[in-house]
Structure 1
């Protein structure tokens, strides 16, 4: 076996400083996650419980198999916006009756579970994950529909939610709706377009228009139960397939529906895997607080892959990019990890070949980001860095094996694209609290703007205001720094979550298991023209 050797000095001052900085970032992250878990706050949580209702995460816990993990997705959605962190929706992957499912649950403690623009983005991302990985979808529904003040941002794109449900069903991917409360207006189409529908007695209310709207539109007097109650839909309209006496009964019935799906994974479980030879806790002290300081990504790889066993590909060529083969929780993977930050021509060509090999062998790819982008300068431009970088991006774009991306350190410029950033459709993308991502580093971007302004003033024959320049540079640096941080990016759904480095192996293992529910097949040719 080719077990990686670690040179990490976990007793040294450098390691201690890195670890302390990471723990500080994790404390801040935990505080933001707590806001999502808190939902609408103690007042509305207490009111919800007083009505005899379970919270969104309590419903999920009862739905899932006991003592199985739940990989929550996009928990920081809406961070930094005017809306509650978490976007009034919980989404994630969990195991129900032995079947991996995509679960969504409205949080009714946040404005009655109403959907805001971030709720929509989060729900669409969940549907995208379900479709790509062929995961059955279970929706735990209790929502008053669109948050009306923001309807201009929801109504038109929101129709994609219902389109997604029909596309999932058409693809043979089961969809199950469990209705606990309101599911009104456009929200009525969630149970209306799901394959299986369960409604809770005297609680579920599913109608296109509630009694006030019906009164305004037609003059008809009606009540919630006769218009859209669970019993009416079970006995009269036929919309409800199953009638539950209470929430616990509804969740029990949902588990039985999944049990009867006769659902099979495309690939069998690989079975037990040997853990890494090095402690995952040591991942806290590898990445420096200052991302300009290089670190060896093999130290990360050694703590996430099975038995720390890694067969490196082209180790002497293009050394700024580490590539190689390993297993992770028993699943074969190809890994691309940035070593010294900059991608040169050799690294780009090496990556393109490696990606092609993974596609030939139907092996998923894991990208560990720490790049400042492709190298610039006269020597490198003349050496063909554009065409070689394009070769790598071409390979990433047309690769058909599943991609998993983890932003460990920097992820700047076109390097973010070449390493399969969000725009390149990785199946999953997660970030460490140490990561940063932007068009370039704050100092570089501010410096470029300064040079452009200085050249403009010189061309016009005007004196340059050095004091204003210093002020502008400071302002731009501060803005870009804040906009490159992981919580800011996660709030905009540019990743699927910011994770504790110690959880990286577990998170990637859960993702790989979900991915293998669908067939894993690489591209055989079809990579477009590689400029040589």
Structure 2
């Protein structure tokens, strides 16, 4: 396979300026990741320890295989909202006893681990990832249940958690609950619906109604232990499958359970040892221009991402604003679609459609590297059939059944987001770089469109157009869209699965590919109607 040749000038001023900006963006993201890792803050973390309990991230570290990586998901959920960054739950993909699993762990230092609307979205997304990729699920439970002031946004959609858990079990995908503390009301059904339940002595409290509710409802005086303690559930109700003497014992039992599930991946294994890229992934930081309007060659990213920097480009002279081709990532064969100069013309759309069909014919996963302003507009392009051509590409993306992995490198605007397998098109996993933007269109373009519409409306009604008010309105709209297209705003709302360091793109994609191969990797052979 041909080896990519880099033209990146790592000694140049442009490279140094680009790198400095990316490092600054990464510092800002790291600050917010530290906030998320702190949970409820130092005081609540210490109080939790003083009670003899492990912080949530220590529980996860002990649970995972030693020195194995953990791909955290939606780490900055709820950023910029009234809720704590991270949304009171930690989710991710890790390896336990040699088995790749989705881990969902409550952080009890944040309002007792209570679930708010963002933690619900985060939990449901983690369960969706487990279902579509056929990954076992391990729940680390310690939650006070629903954040009651938010109940209107929680009660109805919250039932989906139980639906997903039972669907996983019905599909033969193991589910495990390690209960470290409260698991009350609806939350009691998490251990109830998992295949395996481990309860910690004198810590686990699993009941539909606690002592105050029981008193109010029935007049009965009851205590925590008799209502829902680990000993009672192990000896009397039978809800508990394993009685753990402490948290470390629960984690040990959880790891042992995973050794006995006889788990096998259904997808093909990697093709032997993977060669490192010829070029240093560290250099990716200097690839992306400071000005988002300036295009960059995604081959420079691929040269620092794919195995051996080898890339067999497909139709390199046709539709050159979109780079397509075949490569390997950590031994897994992939097809790559990467935006070059941003705009998708008819040629790029038809090229992408054919390439996606080929990938499905050969059961090859697809990696989408986004940096697009959308499909081209204008009279000649409309008459040339850009709507039909874009529809072909979107049809192919929507009906493709091989795993899709998507990374927003710099920008993803308009229908280009759809054609490049954005969130609405169910990529198995989707990530963004820290400077990436996502919106229906750029801030200046959107504000300008509204200004033109306003001016035309005033003219049609014979009214004078207020230039000063229009300028103020335009500035306000630009500021709003700029803020709403920011990577932190987007990831906070779970429109991607997390912001990643561009230098880690190879590792993240490799872990993601490994996870997607837990289930069958099979392309679609028959598609819908393509407009010709």
Aligned twin of 2:103: 103
Instruction: Report the counterpart of residue 49 of structure 1 in structure 2.
Output: 49
Partner in structure 1 of residue 38 of structure 2: 38
Taking the aligned partners of 2:76 and 2:52, their CA distance within structure 1 comes to 28
TM-score, length-scaled by structure 2: 0.99
Partner Cα separation in structure 1 for residue 483 and residue 268 of structure 2: 44
User: What's the secondary structure of 1:92's corresponding residue?
Assistant: strand
Q: Hey, what does 2:114 align to over in structure 1?
A: 114
Deviation at 1:501, TM superposition (A): 0.2
Within a 5 Å distance, the mapping from 1:487-502 to structure 2 comes to 487-502=488-503
Q: Which residue of 2 aligns with 1:281?
A: 282
Paired with 1:458 and 1:48, the residues of 2 have a C-alpha distance of 65
Q: Which residue of structure 1 lines up, in the alignment, with residue 243 of structure 2?
A: 243
In structure 2, what is the equivalent of residue 513 of structure 1? 514
Counterpart residue number, 1:424? 425
Offset of residue 267 of structure 1: 3.0
Check conservation: 1:369, 1:409, Cα contact below 8 A. Answer: yes
C-alpha offsets along residues 64-105 of structure 1, whole Å, 9 cap, x if unaligned?
000000000000111111100000000000000110000010
Helix, strand or coil for the counterpart of 2:159?
A: helix
CA deviation after TM superposition for structure 1 residue 441, in Å: 0.4
In structure 1, the residue matched to 2:22 is 22
Offset from partner CA, 1:257-286 (integer Å, 9 cap, x none): 000010011135423200000000001011
Measured in 2, the distance between the counterparts of 1:47 and 1:16 equals 45
Residue 180 (str. 1) matches residue 174 (str. 2): no
- Offset from partner CA, 1:24-83 (integer Å, 9 cap, x none): 100000001111000000110000000010011100000000000000000011111110
Aligned partners of 2:213 and 2:412: how far apart in 1?
50
C-alpha contact (below 8 Å) 1:486/1:498 kept by paired residues: yes
In structure 2, how many angstroms separate the alpha carbons of the residues matched to 1:438 and 1:472?
Answer: 19
Structure 1 equivalent of residue 461 of structure 2? 460
**How far apart, in 1, do the equivalents of 2:273 and 2:246 lie?**
39
User: Equivalents in 2 of 1:372, 1:21: separation in Å?
Assistant: 21
Whether the 8 Å CA contact 1:141–1:177 is kept in 2: the answer is yes
SS at match of 2:452: helix
Spell out the pairing of 1:83-482 with structure 2 (5 A cutoff): 83-270=83-270, 271-482=272-483
Distance 2:276 2:16 in 1: 24
8 Å contact 1:289–1:434 — kept in the other structure? no
Which runs of 5 or more structure 1 residues have no equivalent in the other structure?
Answer: none
Deviation at residue 368 of structure 1 after TM alignment: 0.2
Q: What is the Cα-based RMSD across aligned positions, in Å?
A: 0.6
Q: Shift of the alpha carbon at 1:289?
A: 1.7
CA deviations on 1:451-476 (whole Å, 9 max, x unpaired) are 00001111111111111111111111
Q: Residues of 2 paired with 1:136 and 1:510: CA distance?
A: 15
SS in 1 for 2:181: strand
| Counterpart Cα distance in 2 of 1:221 and 1:294 | 69
For residue 141 of structure 2, give the secondary structure of its aligned residue in structure 1: strand
Q: Could you tell me which residue of structure 2 aligns to residue 58 of structure 1?
A: 58
Distance 1:353 1:505 in 2: 26
Mind listing any 5+ residue stretches in structure 2 that lack a counterpart? Answer: none
Task: Check whether the contact 1:287–1:434 (CA below 8 A) recurs between aligned residues.
Answer: no
SS at match of 1:467: helix
Contact 1:366 1:404 in 2 (8 A): yes
> How far apart in 2 are the matches of 1:269 and 1:27?
36
CA drift at 1:180? 0.2
**TM-score between the two structures when normalised by the length of structure 1:** 0.99
**The residue matched to 1:362 in structure 2 has which SS?**
coil
Aligned to 1:70: 70
Equivalent-residue separation in structure 1 for 2:245 and 2:296 (angstroms): 58
Q: Cα 1:529–1:268, aligned 2, differ >3 Å: closer, same or farther?
A: closer
SS state of the match for residue 198, structure 1? strand
How many corresponding residue pairs?
A: 531
Write the distance in 1 (CA, Å) between the matches of 2:235 and 2:268. 41
Measured in 2, the distance between the counterparts of 1:517 and 1:455 equals 56
Cα distance, 1:116 vs. partner? 0.2
